[in-house]
Amino acid sequence: MKTHKQYIHEQIKKEPKFAEALAKAEQEVGIAVELARLRESRGLSQTELAKLTGMKQPQIARLESGAHFPAFPTLQKLLGVLGGKLELTADACHLVPTRAKLASARR
Amino acid sequence: MKTHKQYIHEQIKKEPKFAEALAKAEQEVGIAVELARLRESRGLSQTELAKLTGMKQPQIARLESGAHFPAFPTLQKLLGVLGGKLELTADACHLVPTRAKLASARR
DNA sequence: ACGAGTTATAACATAAGTGTTATATTTTCC
DNA sequence: GGAAAATATAACACTTATGTTATAACTCGT
Protein backbone atom coordinates (compact mmCIF):
# COMPACT_ATOMS: atom_id res chain seq x y z
CA MET A 1 0.00 0.00 0.00
CA LYS A 2 1.21 3.46 -0.91
CA THR A 3 1.76 5.98 1.85
CA HIS A 4 0.66 9.55 1.64
CA LYS A 5 4.27 10.72 1.50
CA GLN A 6 5.11 8.34 -1.32
CA TYR A 7 2.16 9.59 -3.28
CA ILE A 8 3.15 13.22 -2.81
CA HIS A 9 6.68 12.41 -3.80
CA GLU A 10 5.56 10.81 -7.05
CA GLN A 11 3.32 13.71 -7.91
CA ILE A 12 6.18 16.12 -7.48
CA LYS A 13 8.37 14.06 -9.77
CA LYS A 14 5.70 13.97 -12.44
CA GLU A 15 4.66 17.56 -12.08
CA PRO A 16 7.15 20.01 -10.55
CA LYS A 17 4.50 22.69 -10.18
CA PHE A 18 2.79 20.40 -7.73
CA ALA A 19 5.39 21.14 -5.08
CA GLU A 20 4.83 24.84 -5.42
CA ALA A 21 1.08 24.52 -5.25
CA LEU A 22 1.37 22.26 -2.24
CA ALA A 23 3.64 24.63 -0.39
CA LYS A 24 1.25 27.47 -1.06
CA ALA A 25 -1.71 25.44 0.08
CA GLU A 26 0.05 24.44 3.28
CA GLN A 27 0.96 28.01 4.08
CA GLU A 28 -2.57 29.14 3.62
CA VAL A 29 -3.92 26.31 5.68
CA GLY A 30 -1.17 27.08 8.16
CA ILE A 31 -2.23 30.53 9.19
CA ALA A 32 -5.88 29.58 8.90
CA VAL A 33 -5.58 26.64 11.21
CA GLU A 34 -3.45 28.54 13.66
CA LEU A 35 -5.99 31.30 13.85
CA ALA A 36 -8.65 28.79 14.73
CA ARG A 37 -6.43 27.12 17.30
CA LEU A 38 -5.58 30.40 18.93
CA ARG A 39 -9.20 31.40 19.12
CA GLU A 40 -10.20 28.08 20.62
CA SER A 41 -7.36 28.22 23.11
CA ARG A 42 -8.91 31.45 24.33
CA GLY A 43 -12.26 29.78 24.72
CA LEU A 44 -14.02 32.03 22.23
CA SER A 45 -16.59 31.15 19.61
CA GLN A 46 -16.35 32.66 16.16
CA THR A 47 -19.33 34.82 16.98
CA GLU A 48 -17.76 36.09 20.17
CA LEU A 49 -14.47 36.82 18.48
CA ALA A 50 -16.35 38.59 15.75
CA LYS A 51 -18.10 40.85 18.25
CA LEU A 52 -14.88 41.63 20.09
CA THR A 53 -13.04 42.54 16.92
CA GLY A 54 -15.89 44.33 15.23
CA MET A 55 -15.98 41.75 12.49
CA LYS A 56 -18.74 39.39 11.49
CA GLN A 57 -18.77 35.66 12.12
CA PRO A 58 -18.66 34.63 8.45
CA GLN A 59 -15.48 36.60 7.99
CA ILE A 60 -13.84 34.72 10.83
CA ALA A 61 -15.01 31.47 9.30
CA ARG A 62 -13.63 32.50 5.93
CA LEU A 63 -10.23 33.19 7.38
CA GLU A 64 -10.12 30.01 9.39
CA SER A 65 -11.10 28.03 6.33
CA GLY A 66 -8.08 29.35 4.49
CA ALA A 67 -10.19 30.90 1.77
CA HIS A 68 -7.65 33.67 1.63
CA PHE A 69 -4.84 35.36 3.46
CA PRO A 70 -5.88 37.77 6.15
CA ALA A 71 -4.84 41.33 5.41
CA PHE A 72 -2.52 43.20 7.71
CA PRO A 73 -5.12 45.31 9.53
CA THR A 74 -7.34 42.28 9.94
CA LEU A 75 -4.54 40.36 11.58
CA GLN A 76 -3.88 43.21 13.93
CA LYS A 77 -7.50 43.40 14.97
CA LEU A 78 -7.46 39.69 15.70
CA LEU A 79 -4.18 39.83 17.56
CA GLY A 80 -5.52 42.69 19.63
CA VAL A 81 -8.21 40.45 21.03
CA LEU A 82 -6.58 37.05 20.92
CA GLY A 83 -3.20 38.20 22.08
CA GLY A 84 -0.47 36.69 20.04
CA LYS A 85 2.34 37.45 17.69
CA LEU A 86 2.59 36.64 14.03
CA GLU A 87 5.93 35.49 12.78
CA LEU A 88 6.42 35.43 9.08
CA THR A 89 9.41 34.27 7.12
CA ALA A 90 9.80 33.41 3.48
CA ASP A 91 8.65 29.87 3.90
CA ALA A 92 6.72 29.70 7.11
CA CYS A 93 4.23 31.57 9.10
CA HIS A 94 2.94 30.98 12.54
CA LEU A 95 1.02 32.56 15.32
CA VAL A 96 2.62 32.52 18.71
CA PRO A 97 0.18 32.82 21.58
CA THR A 98 1.40 35.42 24.03
CA ARG A 99 -0.36 37.26 26.82
CA ALA A 100 -3.86 35.94 27.27
CA LYS A 101 -5.52 39.30 27.74
CA LEU A 102 -8.77 37.50 27.73
CA ALA A 103 -11.93 39.14 26.69
CA SER A 104 -13.90 40.27 29.68
CA ALA A 105 -16.75 41.19 27.40
CA ARG A 106 -17.97 37.66 27.11
CA ARG A 107 -21.47 36.90 26.04
CA MET B 1 8.16 77.58 20.95
CA LYS B 2 5.93 74.54 20.67
CA THR B 3 7.53 71.15 20.36
CA HIS B 4 6.35 68.51 17.98
CA LYS B 5 5.13 66.38 20.87
CA GLN B 6 3.16 69.24 22.38
CA TYR B 7 1.55 69.89 19.05
CA ILE B 8 0.54 66.27 18.62
CA HIS B 9 -0.83 66.20 22.12
CA GLU B 10 -3.02 69.22 21.49
CA GLN B 11 -4.33 67.80 18.28
CA ILE B 12 -5.35 64.61 20.01
CA LYS B 13 -7.22 66.57 22.66
CA LYS B 14 -9.07 68.57 20.06
CA GLU B 15 -9.76 65.68 17.76
CA PRO B 16 -9.73 62.16 19.22
CA LYS B 17 -9.73 60.60 15.78
CA PHE B 18 -6.37 62.15 15.25
CA ALA B 19 -4.72 59.64 17.55
CA GLU B 20 -6.18 56.77 15.64
CA ALA B 21 -5.14 58.20 12.30
CA LEU B 22 -1.68 58.86 13.64
CA ALA B 23 -1.25 55.36 14.95
CA LYS B 24 -2.33 53.96 11.62
CA ALA B 25 0.01 56.23 9.74
CA GLU B 26 2.92 55.28 11.96
CA GLN B 27 2.29 51.61 11.50
CA GLU B 28 2.18 51.98 7.78
CA VAL B 29 5.26 54.09 7.71
CA GLY B 30 6.80 51.56 10.07
CA ILE B 31 6.75 48.57 7.83
CA ALA B 32 7.45 50.74 4.81
CA VAL B 33 10.54 52.29 6.24
CA GLU B 34 11.79 49.01 7.58
CA LEU B 35 11.44 47.41 4.20
CA ALA B 36 13.59 50.14 2.71
CA ARG B 37 16.15 49.85 5.46
CA LEU B 38 16.38 46.12 5.08
CA ARG B 39 16.83 46.40 1.33
CA GLU B 40 19.54 49.02 1.71
CA SER B 41 21.29 47.00 4.36
CA ARG B 42 21.57 44.28 1.75
CA GLY B 43 23.09 46.67 -0.72
CA LEU B 44 20.32 46.29 -3.26
CA SER B 45 18.64 48.89 -5.41
CA GLN B 46 14.87 48.83 -5.84
CA THR B 47 15.40 47.66 -9.40
CA GLU B 48 17.63 44.81 -8.31
CA LEU B 49 15.26 43.73 -5.60
CA ALA B 50 12.44 43.90 -8.08
CA LYS B 51 14.28 41.58 -10.47
CA LEU B 52 15.16 39.13 -7.74
CA THR B 53 11.61 38.94 -6.49
CA GLY B 54 9.91 39.01 -9.85
CA MET B 55 8.27 42.29 -9.05
CA LYS B 56 8.62 45.66 -10.72
CA GLN B 57 10.51 48.61 -9.32
CA PRO B 58 7.47 50.87 -8.93
CA GLN B 59 5.81 48.29 -6.78
CA ILE B 60 8.80 48.25 -4.45
CA ALA B 61 8.73 52.04 -4.34
CA ARG B 62 5.04 52.00 -3.56
CA LEU B 63 5.53 49.68 -0.64
CA GLU B 64 8.48 51.61 0.73
CA SER B 65 6.49 54.82 0.49
CA GLY B 66 3.82 53.33 2.71
CA ALA B 67 1.12 53.78 0.11
CA HIS B 68 -0.39 50.58 1.40
CA PHE B 69 0.26 47.48 3.40
CA PRO B 70 2.08 44.73 1.61
CA ALA B 71 -0.01 41.60 1.21
CA PHE B 72 1.07 38.33 2.71
CA PRO B 73 2.46 36.71 -0.43
CA THR B 74 4.27 39.90 -1.33
CA LEU B 75 5.98 39.98 2.03
CA GLN B 76 7.06 36.41 1.64
CA LYS B 77 8.57 37.10 -1.75
CA LEU B 78 10.52 39.98 -0.27
CA LEU B 79 11.63 38.03 2.76
CA GLY B 80 12.79 35.25 0.50
CA VAL B 81 15.31 37.54 -1.09
CA LEU B 82 16.10 39.96 1.70
CA GLY B 83 16.18 37.37 4.43
CA GLY B 84 14.34 38.53 7.46
CA LYS B 85 11.42 37.83 9.68
CA LEU B 86 8.30 39.84 10.11
CA GLU B 87 6.94 40.17 13.60
CA LEU B 88 3.45 41.45 13.95
CA THR B 89 1.52 42.18 17.09
CA ALA B 90 -1.64 44.18 17.66
CA ASP B 91 0.17 47.45 17.95
CA ALA B 92 3.53 47.04 16.35
CA CYS B 93 5.15 45.52 13.39
CA HIS B 94 8.77 45.16 12.51
CA LEU B 95 11.13 43.39 10.25
CA VAL B 96 14.00 41.59 11.84
CA PRO B 97 16.97 41.06 9.56
CA THR B 98 18.13 37.48 9.81
CA ARG B 99 20.43 35.44 7.60
CA ALA B 100 21.89 37.58 4.85
CA LYS B 101 21.46 35.05 2.06
CA LEU B 102 22.63 37.68 -0.29
CA ALA B 103 21.67 37.71 -3.88
CA SER B 104 24.42 36.25 -6.00
CA ALA B 105 22.47 37.27 -9.06
CA ARG B 106 23.58 40.85 -8.86
CA ARG B 107 23.45 43.15 -11.80
C1' DA C 1 25.79 70.80 -17.36
C1' DC C 2 25.34 65.90 -18.96
C1' DG C 3 24.26 61.27 -18.48
C1' DA C 4 23.54 57.01 -15.92
C1' DG C 5 21.40 55.04 -12.37
C1' DT C 6 18.07 55.34 -8.88
C1' DT C 7 13.78 56.44 -6.83
C1' DA C 8 9.05 58.48 -7.11
C1' DT C 9 4.31 59.38 -9.29
C1' DA C 10 0.50 58.59 -12.09
C1' DA C 11 -2.83 55.88 -14.24
C1' DC C 12 -5.51 51.90 -15.15
C1' DA C 13 -6.79 47.09 -15.49
C1' DT C 14 -6.97 42.95 -12.67
C1' DA C 15 -6.92 40.31 -8.51
C1' DA C 16 -7.47 39.58 -3.69
C1' DG C 17 -9.60 40.65 0.75
C1' DT C 18 -13.46 42.78 3.44
C1' DG C 19 -18.20 43.79 5.04
C1' DT C 20 -22.55 42.25 4.90
C1' DT C 21 -26.90 39.51 4.85
C1' DA C 22 -29.09 35.38 4.36
C1' DT C 23 -29.12 30.60 4.84
C1' DA C 24 -27.28 25.94 5.17
C1' DT C 25 -24.81 22.53 7.65
C1' DT C 26 -22.72 20.54 11.66
C1' DT C 27 -22.21 19.96 16.84
C1' DT C 28 -23.67 19.69 21.30
C1' DC C 29 -26.47 18.65 24.88
C1' DC C 30 -31.11 17.57 26.88
C1' DG D 1 -34.33 12.99 17.81
C1' DG D 2 -35.08 17.96 18.55
C1' DA D 3 -33.64 22.61 19.96
C1' DA D 4 -29.93 25.82 20.34
C1' DA D 5 -25.54 27.18 19.43
C1' DA D 6 -21.68 27.02 16.42
C1' DT D 7 -19.66 26.87 12.11
C1' DA D 8 -19.72 26.92 7.04
C1' DT D 9 -21.27 28.60 2.23
C1' DA D 10 -22.94 31.69 -1.06
C1' DA D 11 -23.55 36.01 -3.10
C1' DC D 12 -22.79 40.84 -3.79
C1' DA D 13 -21.04 45.44 -3.53
C1' DC D 14 -16.97 47.79 -1.99
C1' DT D 15 -12.14 48.55 -0.85
C1' DT D 16 -7.39 47.60 -0.96
C1' DA D 17 -3.27 45.64 -3.12
C1' DT D 18 -1.00 44.10 -7.27
C1' DG D 19 0.97 44.19 -12.05
C1' DT D 20 2.12 47.01 -15.51
C1' DT D 21 3.82 50.88 -18.48
C1' DA D 22 5.20 55.35 -18.95
C1' DT D 23 7.46 59.14 -17.27
C1' DA D 24 9.07 62.51 -13.89
C1' DA D 25 12.38 63.90 -10.36
C1' DC D 26 16.35 63.31 -7.82
C1' DT D 27 21.58 62.07 -7.07
C1' DC D 28 26.17 61.46 -8.34
C1' DG D 29 30.15 61.30 -10.70
C1' DT D 30 32.68 63.46 -14.58
pLDDT in tens, A58-95: 999 999 999 999 999 999 999 999 999 999 999 888 89
What pLDDT is attached to residue A3? 44
CA–CA separation, A61 and B9 (whole Å): 40
Secondary structure (DSSP) of A53-97: HT--HHHHHHHHTTSSPPPHHHHHHHHHHH--EEEE-SS-EEEE-
Distance CA A73, CA A4 (A): 37
| Protein-contacted bases of chain D (C-beta within 7 A) | 5-11, 16-23
- Decide if A70 touches B, using CB distance below 8 A: yes
Spatial separation of the C-alpha atoms in residues A38 and A35, rounded to whole Å: 5
Contact with chain A for residue B71, Cβ under 8 A: yes
- B3 pLDDT higher than 50: no
pLDDT at B55: 96
Question: pTM here?
Answer: 0.75
Q: pLDDT tens across B38-77, in order?
A: 999 999 999 999 999 999 999 999 999 999 999 999 999 9
At residue B58's C-alpha, the angle toward residues B53 and B63, to 5°, is 75
- Tell me phi and psi for residue B2, to 5 degrees: -80, 135
Whether B96 and chain A come into contact, CB under 8 Å, resolves to no
Task: State which residues between 48 and 77 of chain A bring their CB within 7 Å of strand D.
Answer: 57-58, 61-62, 64-65, 71-73
